[in-house]
């Protein structure tokens, strides 16, 4: 399933993550993809060095993408950070332990759209 962010949601992330150039780069891609989160994640994965056959953005496997960060994002403190909308703090928490920082903004956007409680149950 593909999720789409509105221009306003992208602008909110841009404001919250204004001091994270790598996040802004991901948000630029999200804007270029008209808010299509799968298409933006495909671009981010490509920039992170993943190889795949381009074309169908429905191939994105969010469960597989999230498996490395699930112990972090399902932590109660991190969930509270997301629920309260502290995106910069959430970005910094993931960036401290996750090597593919280009993927963090799309991951956070996915958590916002899908709902972190739904992912961690």
Q: What's the whole-model pTM score?
A: 0.89
- In eight-state DSSP terms, residue 49 is T
What length is written for the chain?
A: 121
Token pair recorded at residue 108? 């956070």
Domain boundaries, the chain: 7-119
**How many CA atoms within 13 Å lie on the side-chain side of 50?**
15
Q: What is the pLDDT of residue 66?
A: 92
- For the chain, residues with pLDDT lower than 50 are none
Using CA atoms, how far apart are residues 7 and 119, in angstroms rounded to an integer?
24
Q: What is the pLDDT of residue 71?
A: 93
Using CA atoms, how far apart are residues 4 and 57, in angstroms rounded to an integer?
12
């Amino acid at each position: 399933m593909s999720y789409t962010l509105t221009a306003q949601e992208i602008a909110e992330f841009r404001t919250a993550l204004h001091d994270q150039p790598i996040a802004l780069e991901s948000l630029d891609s999200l804007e270029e993809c008209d808010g299509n989160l799968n298409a933006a994640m495909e671009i981010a994965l490509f920039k992170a060095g993943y190889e795949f056959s381009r074309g169908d953005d429905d191939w994105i496997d969010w469960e597989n993408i999230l498996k490395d960060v699930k112990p972090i994002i399902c932590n109660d403190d991190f969930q509270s950070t997301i629920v309260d909308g502290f995106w910069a703090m959430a970005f910094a928490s993931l960036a401290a332990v996750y090597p593919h920082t280009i993927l963090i903004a799309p991951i956070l956007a996915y958590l916002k759209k899908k709902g972190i409680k739904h992912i961690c149950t």
